[in-house]
Amino acid sequence: MSLFGTTSGFGTSGTSMFGSATTDNHNPMKDIEVTSSPDDSIGCLSFSPPTLPGNFLIAGSWANDVRCWEVQDSGQTIPKAQQMHTGPVLDVCWSDDGSKVFTASCDKTAKMWDLSSNQAIQIAQHDAPVKTIHWIKAPNYSCVMTGSWDKTLKFWDTRSSNPMMVLQLPERCYCADVIYPMAVVATAERGLIVYQLENQPSEFRRIESPLKHQHRCVAIFKDKQNKPTGFALGSIEGRVAIHYINPPNPAKDNFTFKCHRSNGTNTSAPQDIYAVNGIAFHPVHGTLATVGSDGRFSFWDKDARTKLKTSEQLDQPISACCFNHNGNIFAYASSYDWSKGHEFYNPQKKNYIFLRNAAEELKPRNKK
């Protein structure tokens, strides 16, 4: 596959053939490895929406590139295309019709990549790296929402170089999620704001953080009627908070749980605590997956408040994760997330994206 330069050498079939080759632990779960994975840490993953037949995966990396693969039902991954930024890519998202991909980068811009023509044009500009990007499709408008470390949230009509709207954030934007009509933005200094997007985006509520440390990732979940009703917030302290926007009983309904900590068989010995790098909700079951710096992923059922599964430990942190549109595939990226500083950064280490069949393992546990 000349598109991406050298292939990974694991064959394009995508089926795992490891175990025998080396004793390394880069894929202990024996999941499907995506071919031609990026050369530097993967910051974000995104699957195509249901409007597009088949599954296409987009990954943005610290090598300044965005890559696209087609994932076939057999598990085969075919690299399709690639675009470059002038800085590391921090976030990617799809438009609702699956024709465009939006990418946000440390070069303070965001681009719109038209997949059919393989052209990318700049659609957004900030004063600092753009950390999050989401596509908003409302009945009366559509736009791209970008959150940046310049403490603003901007909304862009892709045809104009001026933002449709600029909202000020109390601090740098660290993570965001959008499910119309709700958007959540978590900022530095434990800031947390919910926006409502009907008519036009406006701030709905500022929430006091349920977590004690830095916010790292956020994901909105929906209720049984498919309406967004709350969000899960992960921090650097191995903890996720589940927060409902308007719960009948906040004290009981909102809770936090610990995750991505080393096994303290001896509870008095200090645990190792790892950051939660990503949270994703299964689109069908409503169960969630978390990935952490400890190199594990876990599946949880938030309604039954139980853990469904924890993976084996990979030899690198897992930096991003994503479900495809019907929840059959769970993709996670194994690459260094800087959680231990520059000393542990090894540019030679390979970065992987793994695909796992998620249809069965994420079925919710029946509430006892």
Partner 1 sequence: MAICQFFLQGRCRFGDRCWNEHPGARGAGGGRQQPQQQSSGNNRRGWNTTSQRYSSVIQPSSFSKSTPWGGSRDQEKPSFDSFDSGASTNRKEGFGLSENPFASLSPDEQKDEKKLLEGIVKDMEVWESSGQWMFSVYSPVKKKPNISGFTDISPEELRLEYHNFLTSNNLQSYLNSVQHLINQWRNRVNELKSLNISTKVALLSDVKDGVNQAAPAFGFGSSQAATFVSPGFPVNNSSSDNAQNFSFKTNSGFATASSGSPAGFGSSPAFGAAASTSSAVSTSAPAFGFGKPEVTSAASFSFKSPAASSFGSPGFSGLPTSLATGSIRAPVTPAFGSGSSVAGFGSPGSHSHTAFSKPSSDTFGNSSISTSLLASSSIFATDNVLFTPRDKLTVEELEQFQSKKFTLGKIPLKPPPLELLNI
Whose Cβ is closer to partner 1: residue 106's or residue 182's?
106
Positive or negative torsion for Cα 154, 277, 297, 35: positive
Least Å from the CB of residue 43 to partner 1: 7
3-state secondary structure of 3: helix
Whose Cβ is closer to partner 1: residue 212's or residue 227's?
212
Whose Cβ is closer to partner 1: residue 48's or residue 290's?
290
Least Å from the CB of residue 314 to partner 1: 16
Least Å from the CB of residue 218 to partner 1: 13
Give the number of other Cβ atoms within 10 Å of residue 184's Cβ: 25
Whose Cβ is closer to partner 1: residue 307's or residue 325's?
307
Whose Cβ is closer to partner 1: residue 227's or residue 258's?
258
- Tokens, residue 83: 């675009």
Beta bridge partners of 176: 185
Least Å from the CB of residue 208 to partner 1: 4
Whose Cβ is closer to partner 1: residue 222's or residue 261's?
261
Count each helix (H run) and each strand (E run) in the chain, helices first.
1, 28
3-state secondary structure of 129: coil
Side-chain-side CA neighbours of 11 within 13 Å: the count stands at 9
Least Å from the CB of residue 148 to partner 1: 10
Question: In angstroms, how far is CA 67 from the centroid of its own chain?
Answer: 15
CA separation for the pair 47, 329 (Å, rounded): 9
Residues 6+ positions from 5 with CB-CB distance below 8 Å: 36
